[in-house]
Chain A
C-alpha cells in the first residue's frame, strides 16, 4: 500500500513536474512567439541598418552609384579632421546640450513647484504648461520663426513697444543657437514638469513640517528636503534629456537651415544633409559611426556618475 501510495505520489509528482516543465516550455514558446515580430522588425530596421551604416563608413558609397562602392579604409575619418563645418556642427550640438539640459530641467522643476500648490485654477496652468510638449516640433518651430522675425515679428514688436531695441534672434550667428535653446527648453519642459510633479507629490509632508518646527525657510526646505528627495527622478531626467538633446535636428532644420553661417548646424542635421542632399552616404556613415561612439562614451560616463551617486 505504501509502495502504491509512494508510486502514486511519485507519479503524481512526476506528472506535476512534467506538466510544470511543459507549462514552462509552453510559456517560453508563447513568449518567443510574441517577441518574434518585434525582433524581426528590430533586426531589419535597427540592427541591420546600424551594421550596414558602420561598414559604409569605410567606403566611398555615393547614393546614385549603389553598385560601385569601394573600400577606402580610413579616408572618410581623416577627412573629418579637416572638416570645419563638421567640427562646428559638433561644437554646436555640445553647446546646445550644455545649455538646454539645465535650463529645461530648472524650468520644469520651477513650474512643478508652482503647480504643486493647492490653489483654485491650478489645473488650467498645469495643462497650459504641459501643452507645448504635445505639439509637433515642426509646428512649434514654424510658429516661433514667424514670431521672431527681426523685421515684423511679434516679439520684436513687443520689444519696440516697451522701448527695447529689436533683436536679430535667428538671423544672428551670435543669438540663433541660444534662441533655439530657449525655444526647445520651453517646448520640452512641460513633460519633465509632470514627472517632477509626481515626484513632489511623493515627498512625505512630515519632513516639511519637521523643517518648519526647526525654523527652516523656504529655500532651506527646497535645498535640504525637496532636492534630495527628487534626486532619483532628477538623475533619470538628466540622462534622458541629455540623450534627447544630442538628437537635435528639427528646430535648426526648420528655423535656420543650420545658419546663419552654420551657427546652428547640428551633427544629425549635418549627417542628413551629407547623406541625402549631397548623396555622400559613405562620409555620412563615417560621421554617424564617430558620433555613435561619442554617445556611447557619454552614456557610460553618465551611468558611472549615477552609480557613484547611488553608492554614496
Chain B
C-alpha cells in the first residue's frame, strides 16, 4: 500500500515536471514566429498570411516566417489569455500583435524589445504622428501599428431631409469643424421634431443619438474610452497625465469636469441618447445621429444598402482648441523583448518592417479597409468610388487621420484606467442620467480614488 502511494506520488511529480518544463521559446531557431489575434479566415488574417507568404518567397535565404492565428473573443480575450500563458511559461513568440494602448503595460513589464537602432533609416518617420506616439513609451519606439482607426459623426440623410430648414442648417459641411455644443443642439432639435412628426421616416425612432454605450455593458470597455476621451482632449485635458500614472488633478480637473458635464447633456430630459439603446440602432433607422467608428462605413454599405448615411467630423469640445483631438489607434506588431541575439533581433525587425511598410499599408487598405498607418499610403484611401456615402465618409476620416488624430494615453495601467473611466464615468453618467456638475464630479473623484490605489504599484 505504502509502495503504491509512493509510486503514484513519483508519477504525479514526474508529470508535473514534464508539464512545467520549457525550452524557453516557442520559436524554432530556423523560423520567426508571429502571433496575431486576427482569425485565419478573416480578411485581416488573410492579408497577413499573404504578406508573410510573399516575404518567404522573396527571402528564401533568410529565416522563414510562420504566422499563427489565435482568434480573440470580445475585447481581446482568448488571444490575450494565450499570450499571458506564454509569458508565464517563458514561451513568447518572436513577434506578436498588441492593441496600441496595451503596449506601455508590456514595456513596463520588460516583455517588449525596443525597435530604435534596428529599423531602417527613416522607417519610423514614415508612420503617422499618432501611430508613432501610440508605439512610443518613455521616448523609445516599441510598436509598429499596422492599422489606424477613426471616429466621425454620421447622420441618417432621410431623417435629416424631413427636418425644417432651420434645423438642417445646423449640420456642418463635410469640411467644416464644429463643437460638441452644436452637436447637442442639433440632437435636441431633431428629437423635438421626431416626437411631433408623423413622417414615416421617423416611425422606428428611439433617440436622437447612438453612442454604443451597451458595448461597455457587454465588456468592451475600450469603446467608451476610445469614443469619448477625445471630448476631454478637445478641451485641452486628458484622463491621465503625461507620466501615465497621475490621474488626480488630471481626470478630475475643472476642464475634465466641464467636458464631461457637456457630454452628460445628451442625457438631460428628454434624453437624446440611451445607455441601453437597441442593437444597431443607427443602422436600423432608430437614431438620427451616431458617433460612428470607421468600420461603420463598410458595415453600412455592405449590409444596410438602404440606409443613406452622411458623415461629418468629430466635434471639438472647445471651438478655440487647435491641437489633436480625434480618436485613433489600433493594433500593432511588437517584438519579444527577451531575445538577446542581436542578429536575430535584426531579422525580426526586418520582418516587422515588411509587415508594416508603405506597400503593406496599401495592401491592408484594399484587403480589409484598414486605415493606413504610413504617411505615404494615406492617399490610397479611395474617395472617388461609385458610392457617394462611402466617398464622403472616407473624406472625413482621411482628413482626421492626416490632421487631427491623437493616440490614446500611454500608461502601464491603461486597461484599468480605461475600464474605470468607461464604466464608472461615461456609462454611469448615461445609466443614471446624471447631468449636474456636482454629481459628475463625485463620479470622477470616486474613479480617481480607485485608479490611484491601483496605480500605486507603478509609482513604487
Q: Show the binding face of A for B, using Cβ within 8 Å.
A: 28-29, 32, 36, 39-40, 43-44, 48, 60, 62-66, 79, 85, 146, 149-152, 168, 170-171, 173, 253-254, 256-261, 276-280
Nearest Cβ in chain B — how far from A176, in angstroms?
A: 10
B169 at the interface (CB under 8 A from A): no
B277 at the interface (CB under 8 A from A): yes
B62 at the interface (CB under 8 A from A): no
**Knowing A152-B278, A260-B431 touch, does A278 contact B415 (C-beta < 8 A)?**
yes
Between A and B, 10 residue pairs with Cβ closer than 8 Å are: A40-B12, A44-B12, A48-B16, A64-B106, A66-B90, A151-B207, A151-B274, A151-B278, A257-B219, A259-B427
Nearest Cβ in chain A — how far from B111, in angstroms?
A: 6
Query: Are the C-beta atoms of B276 and A36 separated by less than 8 Å?
Result: no
How far apart are the CA atoms of A261 and B275 in the complex, in Å?
12
Q: Show the binding face of B for A, using Cβ within 8 Å.
A: 1, 4, 8, 11-12, 15-16, 19, 77, 81, 84, 87-88, 90, 105-106, 108-111, 206-207, 216-219, 274-279, 286, 415-416, 419, 423, 427-428, 431-432, 450, 453-454, 457
Nearest Cβ in chain B — how far from A68, in angstroms?
A: 8
CB nearest to B456 among chain A residues: A79
Q: Which residues from A are CB-within-8-Å of B8?
A: 32, 36, 39
Q: Which residues from B are CB-within-8-Å of A276?
A: 77, 81, 84
How far apart are the CA atoms of A85 and B8 in the complex, in Å?
44
Given contacts A66-B87, A171-B275, 12 further A-B contacts (CB under 8 A): A44-B12, A150-B274, A150-B276, A151-B274, A151-B277, A170-B276, A173-B432, A258-B423, A260-B427, A276-B84, A277-B416, A278-B415
In-complex Cβ contact of B206 among A32, A60, A151, A253 (8 A): A151
Query: Are the C-beta atoms of A257 and B454 separated by less than 8 Å?
Result: no
Query: Are the C-beta atoms of A149 and B276 separated by less than 8 Å?
Result: yes
Query: Are the C-beta atoms of B11 and A40 separated by less than 8 Å?
Result: yes
Query: Are the C-beta atoms of A64 and B416 separated by less than 8 Å?
Result: no
How far apart are the CA atoms of A257 and B215 in the complex, in Å?
10
Q: Which residues from B are CB-within-8-Å of A39?
A: 8, 12
In-complex Cβ contact of B110 among A28, A48, A65, A280 (8 A): A65
Query: Are the C-beta atoms of B278 and A29 separated by less than 8 Å?
Result: no
CB nearest to A60 among chain B residues: B457
Nearest Cβ in chain A — how far from B288, in angstroms?
A: 15
Query: Are the C-beta atoms of A278 and B454 separated by less than 8 Å?
Result: yes
**Knowing A36-B11, A40-B15, A170-B276 touch, does A257 contact B216 (C-beta < 8 A)?**
yes
How far apart are the CA atoms of A185 and B8 in the complex, in Å?
43
Nearest Cβ in chain A — how far from B70, in angstroms?
A: 16
Q: Which of A29, A32, A256, A279 has the most CB of B within 10 A?
A: A279
In-complex Cβ contact of B16 among A44, A62, A151, A280 (8 A): A44
How far apart are the CA atoms of A40 and B84 in the complex, in Å?
25
How far apart are the CA atoms of A151 and B108 in the complex, in Å?
44
Query: Are the C-beta atoms of B216 and A64 separated by less than 8 Å?
Result: no
Q: Which of A29, A60, A150 has the most CB of B within 10 A?
A: A150
How far apart are the CA atoms of A73 and B216 in the complex, in Å?
35
Nearest Cβ in chain B — how far from A146, in angstroms?
A: 8
Nearest Cβ in chain A — how far from B446, in angstroms?
A: 8
Query: Are the C-beta atoms of A152 and B206 separated by less than 8 Å?
Result: yes
Nearest Cβ in chain A — how far from B5, in angstroms?
A: 9
**Knowing A39-B12, A64-B109, A152-B206 touch, does A257 contact B218 (C-beta < 8 A)?**
yes
Query: Are the C-beta atoms of A66 and B416 separated by less than 8 Å?
Result: no
How far apart are the CA atoms of A259 and B428 in the complex, in Å?
9
Query: Are the C-beta atoms of A260 and B81 separated by less than 8 Å?
Result: no
Query: Are the C-beta atoms of B109 and A62 separated by less than 8 Å?
Result: yes
How far apart are the CA atoms of A25 and B206 in the complex, in Å?
76
**Knowing A28-B4, A171-B275 touch, does A85 contact B450 (C-beta < 8 A)?**
yes
CB nearest to B107 among chain A residues: A64
Q: Which residues from A are CB-within-8-Å of B12?
A: 39-40, 43-44
Nearest Cβ in chain B — how far from A142, in angstroms?
A: 10
**Knowing A64-B109, A278-B454 touch, does A260 contact B88 (C-beta < 8 A)?**
no
Query: Are the C-beta atoms of A171 and B431 separated by less than 8 Å?
Result: yes
Q: Which of A150, A258, A259, A276 has the most CB of B within 10 A?
A: A259
CB nearest to B108 among chain A residues: A64
Q: Which residues from A are CB-within-8-Å of B275?
A: 171, 260
Q: Which residues from B are CB-within-8-Å of A44?
A: 12, 15-16, 19
How far apart are the CA atoms of A210 and B105 in the complex, in Å?
74
How far apart are the CA atoms of A48 and B106 in the complex, in Å?
28
Q: Which residues from B are CB-within-8-Å of A168?
A: 276
Query: Are the C-beta atoms of B219 and A253 separated by less than 8 Å?
Result: yes
Query: Are the C-beta atoms of B457 and A62 separated by less than 8 Å?
Result: yes
CB nearest to A32 among chain B residues: B4
How far apart are the CA atoms of A278 and B4 in the complex, in Å?
44
Nearest Cβ in chain B — how far from A61, in angstroms?
A: 10
How far apart are the CA atoms of A280 and B413 in the complex, in Å?
11
Give me the 5 closest cross-chain CB pairs, A-B, nearest first.
A64-B109, A260-B431, A171-B276, A152-B278, A257-B217
Q: Which residues from B are CB-within-8-Å of A40?
A: 11-12, 15
Nearest Cβ in chain A — how far from B194, in angstroms?
A: 14
Q: Which residues from A are CB-within-8-Å of B454?
A: 278, 280
Q: Which residues from A are CB-within-8-Å of B106?
A: 64
Nearest Cβ in chain A — how far from B89, in angstroms?
A: 9
CB nearest to A35 among chain B residues: B8
Q: Which residues from A are CB-within-8-Å of B415?
A: 277-279
Q: Which residues from A are CB-within-8-Å of B427?
A: 259-260
CB nearest to A66 among chain B residues: B88
How far apart are the CA atoms of A258 and B219 in the complex, in Å?
9
Nearest Cβ in chain A — how far from B354, in angstroms?
A: 28
How far apart are the CA atoms of A258 and B111 in the complex, in Å?
31
Q: Which residues from B are CB-within-8-Å of A65?
A: 109-110
How far apart are the CA atoms of A40 and B81 in the complex, in Å?
24
Q: Which residues from A are CB-within-8-Å of B87?
A: 63-64, 66
Query: Are the C-beta atoms of A28 and B1 separated by less than 8 Å?
Result: yes
How far apart are the CA atoms of A64 and B81 in the complex, in Å?
11
How far apart are the CA atoms of A258 and B217 in the complex, in Å?
8
Q: Which residues from B are CB-within-8-Å of A253?
A: 219
**Knowing A39-B12, A40-B15 touch, does A151 contact B276 (C-beta < 8 A)?**
yes
Nearest Cβ in chain A — how far from B425, in angstroms?
A: 11
Q: Which residues from B are CB-within-8-Å of A85?
A: 450
Q: Which residues from B are CB-within-8-Å of A36?
A: 8, 11
How far apart are the CA atoms of A44 and B18 in the complex, in Å?
12
**Knowing A44-B15, A66-B87 touch, does A277 contact B276 (C-beta < 8 A)?**
no
How far apart are the CA atoms of A173 and B219 in the complex, in Å?
17
Q: Which of B109, B276, B432, B453 has the most CB of A within 10 A?
A: B276
How far apart are the CA atoms of A173 and B424 in the complex, in Å?
13
Query: Are the C-beta atoms of A260 and B428 separated by less than 8 Å?
Result: yes
Nearest Cβ in chain B — how far from A45, in angstroms?
A: 10
Nearest Cβ in chain A — how far from B123, in angstroms?
A: 28
How far apart are the CA atoms of A149 and B213 in the complex, in Å?
13
Nearest Cβ in chain A — how far from B22, in angstroms?
A: 12
Q: Which residues from A are CB-within-8-Å of B19?
A: 44
How far apart are the CA atoms of A62 and B1 in the complex, in Å?
42
How far apart are the CA atoms of A151 and B206 in the complex, in Å?
7
